[in-house]
Structure 1
Amino acid sequence: MKHLKNLLPLLILSFLISCGKHHKKEDSFTLTDTEKSKIERIVENHLKGELFSKTGKHVPVNVENSIVKEIDGNMYIVSTYGEYTSTSLLDKNTSTMEYEYAGITCTSSGCSANNGCIPESKASCTPCALADCSKSVTSFE
């Protein structure tokens, strides 16, 4: 009986550690510099088209900042250029443990302060109250 008393805390500790490892696996996905650069180029090209359609001029565009962010349980890379915010959906590649571009980016200059204009699937963006959300869908097949 005394040995069982000592064994029970070890079993509980073992269970807690194994549960903790499962959560750490979820957090161990990374976004490679190559994938980040690819997404930023897609965003820059989309913004160049947006700005050209508004001004009629070719404007050089360079993403100023990009961060990986979780929104409503999905992972995104959020890139900014001036007043524009582009949110790109990320997929998880479980064989490489890396995030990959899911093929959709939503861009807005007015909805960056709230949760509007965010990819909600691989085909559409969440509504933006200011109606300035544009969608870019890219396929790599």
Structure 2
Amino acid sequence: MGGAFSVSAETAVEKLNSGTVLPTNLPFSELVVAGDTLYLSGQIGNLPGTLTLAEGGTAGESKQVMENIKTSLEAHGYGMENLVKCTVMLADISEWGDFNTVYAEYFEPGEFPARAAFGANGLAVGAAVEVDCIGVK
């Protein structure tokens, strides 16, 4: 069973790439806006414009991941307050606490998005952490 994905005329879809975090030649959009919903592609702890990971293991990459998310959102006129759900993938789930310490710094106390976290094997370019998010305008 096949077919093309169809979007009604009332639902505009924008596929955006700012080039501020990831190279624009990768086979995915940085941010897709469908109606009032924002879909942010998985972000890793790469140094902006490269696929080189930030130093410092999980803590260093976690800081860079969150900076990359913030930068991607801001490049398109949104902010961390627009996020409603994040999914966190950790190469070593035992480092969940280290990630949480960094993650909490990016939101107002008590104003966290819904979230899931799990251990994953084989994240992009050997990353220790990857985070994707959904938001609203």
The normalised TM-score by structure 1 is 0.25
Bigger helix share:
1
Report the TM-score, using the length of structure 2 for normalisation: 0.25
Tell me which structure has the larger Cα radius of gyration. 1
Higher relative contact order (CA 8 A, sep 6+): 2
